[in-house]
Chain A
Amino acid sequence: MSERLLARAAIYGALTLFAAFYLVPLAVVMLNSVRSTEDINHSSVIGLPSVYVWGNFAHTWSSYCIAEHCTGIQPYFWNSLRMVIPATVISTLLGALNGYSLALWRFRGDTLVFGIITLGVFLPEQMKLVPWAIVLRDLGLFNTISGLVLIHVIQGISFTTLFCRNYYVSIPADLLKAARIDGAGFFRIFWRIVLPLSPPILIVTVIWQFTGIWNEFLYGVTFSTGENQPVTAALIALSAQISQAPQYGQQSAAVLMAAAPTLLVYLFGGRYFVRGLTSGAVK
């Protein structure tokens, strides 16, 4: 009996230690966001606030200077939002449509088409930088949010098609056959049968697209400059400033605000997060 108890204690002990390891960065950022920079410089980034400084958030949000622009991270945050919302919605809709036609309206060469689209998931961003640079320049979309939306839509279709196609494949063929005998066409079947069955996969897809696009850095930093950058690029610009000593209090507030949207999505949609994660690999 006592051996069993010991084993249980060891299990919980190990789990708690690991939990501490994962939580340290979050705790550091949260605590430092309410500490003053002097306080942090006197001790270290790991510590409790001696005085609570709530002003870090307001200052970082609207008046902190990033690369000579004293606008705070607010405009960059809105840039990210203006990029992520249309890109997520459009790429998810196109992915659902692609998945629907690939899974349920089989045509000659459909597996080849699907295979090529899936390759897009693995293709490294570095292979696409030069083509995108030229395409954006020719379309006049360099250094615009629309340009970044275009990139994320096209590149996102690979992910969304993969997710949706693998989900739609499990819709029984008889259901469609019956609908077709009743005279329903391509769109009717999509609206009346497939879409009502889709919320689970659409939620998974939206969550993954939102997180991926919000967190993306390379395209943002390559194809936009100054005040048109998304918040990830602004964070790097902020911490790379050499004209002034690092302000860890304000930087922590900035980091926390930049990470908040995807963290909130994870907290409220964690279930779907895991579903998206496991759907590909376990099956």
Chain B
Amino acid sequence: MMAWRQRWDRILPHLVIWPPLLVSCAYVLVFSVWTTWVSFTRSTLLPDYSWAGVRNYTAMLASRNWQIAFTNLFIYGACFVVLAMAVGLLLAVLIDQRIRGENLFRTIFLYPIAVSFVVTGTVWGWLFNPSIGVQKLVHDLGWTSFRFDWVIDRNMAIYTIVVAAVWHGSGFAMALFLAGLRSVDADLVKAAQIDGAGAWRIYTRVVLPTIGPIFVAVLVMLLQFAIKTYDLVVALTAGGPGLASTLPALVVYDFMFQRGELGRGAAAAVMLLGSLTVVLIPYAGFRAWQNRRGAARV
């Protein structure tokens, strides 16, 4: 009896530990392999596991939707990341000047992160809408030749996504930069001040170099936001006008569930994952290198 009890006590933790661990591991691996497998099959409306080789990939790469979406991703990704980082860093530096009402400003700059992309896209959609938004306001004020119709302009629609995304994500960059600025060694700054360095010099020569790793972290986080962007576009422009503001994540959904081309949609999803990996693998390498360097120094 006693022995049975002891054995049970030893087994029970394993019964509790392993299922959630295994489920969460298996979910990541099995689902990735599954979608990758589907991308090499003839699946259309329903999964059909007969081999199709790389046909889905070549078809997707040649399709106009994918080419436009990927070009858009480059424009949107570059603009969004640069602007969000610039605004985030500027705000962090401003807030770091021992200002009054720091908490209030921080709360205001960061609240968009609690707002869904659906809400963000919907409201910015109204502001960009020429017949009801900013353009209408300016017209009513008397400047009737004013034009602000990006959202219906093929060449400019993608930039409406950039503005809304910067509104949503720059507070996030600010919070990380601010945490970095606050972690800079105060003695280092004091020493520079004693040496007679001005505020600008202290920032560019002492503070910013020490928060270099945070720059990289923010860059990577924002890039992966950009690559995954989906609901913001659906709510703001639905990818339009035409395909002018579509992104890869929208193309995946379009092929999978609207055209009933599961195989091609899966191929697009795998390529989406591929572009994410291009960002994440160098970052993982950078982190490993940093850790090794840190360990060597200690």
| Chain A contact residues, CB within 8 Å of chain B | 11-12, 14-15, 18-19, 21-26, 28-29, 40-41, 43-47, 94, 97-98, 101-102, 105, 113, 116-117, 119-120, 122-132, 134, 154-155, 157-158, 161, 185-187, 211, 214-218, 222, 232, 235-236, 239-240, 248, 251, 255, 258-259, 262-263, 265-267, 270, 273-274, 277-278, 281-282
Given the interface pairs A22-B171, A98-B21, the reply to whether A263 lies near B111 with Cβ below 8 Å is: yes
Flag the segment in B65-73, B202-210, B270-278 that touches A.
B270-278
B136→A157 contact, CB < 8 A: no
Verify A46–B133 contact, CB threshold 8 A: yes
**Given A158-B28, A185-B9, A129 contacting B183 (CB threshold 8 A):** no
Q: Bound state CA distance, A274 and B91, in angstroms? A: 15
Cβ-defined contact, A273 with B249, below 8 A: no
User: Does B122 contact A124, Cβ atoms closer than 8 Å?
Assistant: no
A240 to B122: give the CA distance in the assembly, Å.
10
Q: In angstroms, how far is the closest chain A Cβ from the Cβ of B232? A: 9
Inter-chain contact A127/B13, CB cutoff 8 Å:
no
CB atoms of B114 and A44 under 8 A apart: no
What distance in Å separates the Cβ of A223 from its nearest Cβ neighbour in chain B? Answer: 10
Contact B132 A235 (CB under 8 A): no
With A217-B117, A235-B118 known to touch, is A45 a contact of B175 (CB < 8 Å)? Answer: no
A158: nearest chain-B partner, CB-CB: B24
One of B29-37, B51-59, B154-162, B189-197 contacting the partner:
B29-37
Q: B132–A44 contact, CB under 8 A?
A: yes
| Structural contact, A255 and B123, CB atoms closer than 8 A | yes
> Are the CB atoms of B175 and A277 closer together than 8 Å?
yes
Smallest CB gap from B199: residue in A: A7
Which of B21, B109, B228, B235 is within 8 Å of A101, CB to CB? B21
Which of B167, B179, B224 is A25 in contact with, Cβ under 8 Å? Answer: B167
Given contacts A41-B132, A127-B269, contact A259 B24 (CB under 8 A): no
Q: Which B169-221 residues have C-beta < 8 A from chain A?
A: 171-172, 175-176, 179-180, 183, 214, 217-218, 221
Q: Nearest Cβ distance between residue B275 and chain A, in whole angstroms?
A: 10
Residues of B within 8 A of A235 (CB): 118-119, 122, 235
Query: By the criterion CB–CB under 8 Å, are A119 and B28 in contact?
Result: yes
Docked Cα-Cα span, A202 to B249, in Å, equals: 32
Q: Which of A25, A41, A161 is packed against the most chain B CB atoms within 10 Å?
A: A25
A12 B30 Cβ-Cβ under 8 A? no
Measured in the bound complex, the distance between the Cα atoms of B234 and A272 in whole Å is 30
A127 near B273 (CB under 8 angstroms)? yes
Known: A18-B109, A94-B20, A129-B252. 16 other contacts (CB 8 A): A11-B99, A26-B111, A43-B136, A43-B140, A94-B24, A120-B24, A126-B269, A130-B34, A131-B30, A186-B12, A187-B13, A236-B235, A267-B107, A274-B175, A277-B176, A282-B180
Q: How far is the CA of A147 from the CA of B214 in the complex (A)?
A: 38
* Contact yes or no, A281 B176, CB < 8 A: yes
Q: How far is the CB of B87 from chain A (nearest CB, A)?
A: 8
Q: List 20 A-B contacts (CB under 8 A).
A: A11-B97, A15-B91, A19-B105, A25-B127, A97-B20, A101-B17, A105-B13, A113-B25, A117-B25, A124-B273, A124-B276, A129-B252, A187-B12, A214-B116, A217-B117, A236-B235, A239-B125, A265-B114, A277-B175, A282-B179
* Complex Cα spacing A52 to B103, Å: 32
| B17/A97 in contact, CB under 8 A | yes
Please measure, in the bound complex, the distance between the C-alpha atom of A97 and the C-alpha atom of B111, giving whole angstroms.
31
B257 at the interface (CB under 8 A from A): yes
User: Is there contact, CB below 8 Å, between B31 and A128?
Assistant: yes
Distance, CA A25 to CA B16, complexed state (A):
47
Contact A263–B114 (Cβ < 8 Å):
yes
Please indicate the chain B residues that have their CB under 8 angstroms from the CB of A94 in the complex: 20, 24
Q: For A19, what are the chain B residues with a Cβ–Cβ distance below 8 Å?
A: 105, 108-109
Residue of B nearest to A107 (CB): B17
With both chains docked as a complex, state the minimum distance between the C-beta of A54 and any C-beta of chain B, in angstroms: 21
Q: Are A185 and B13 in contact (CB under 8 A)?
A: yes
Nearest A-chain residue to B179, judged by Cβ: A278
Which residue on A lies nearest to B118, using beta carbons? A232
Assess whether B183 is in contact with A281, with CB atoms less than 8 Å apart.
Answer: no
Chain B nearest Cβ from A274, distance in angstroms: 5
Cβ–Cβ contact B252 & A126, under 8 A: yes
**What A residues does B134 contact at CB under 8 A?**
44, 46
Q: How far is the CB of A280 from chain B (nearest CB, A)?
A: 8
Alpha-carbon distance between A186 and B23 when the two chains are bound, in angstroms: 20
**Complex interface: chain B residues within 8 A of A131 (CB):** 30-31, 34-35
Q: How far is the CA of A83 from the CA of B109 in the complex (A)?
A: 29
Residues of B within 8 A of A46 (CB): 127, 133-134, 137
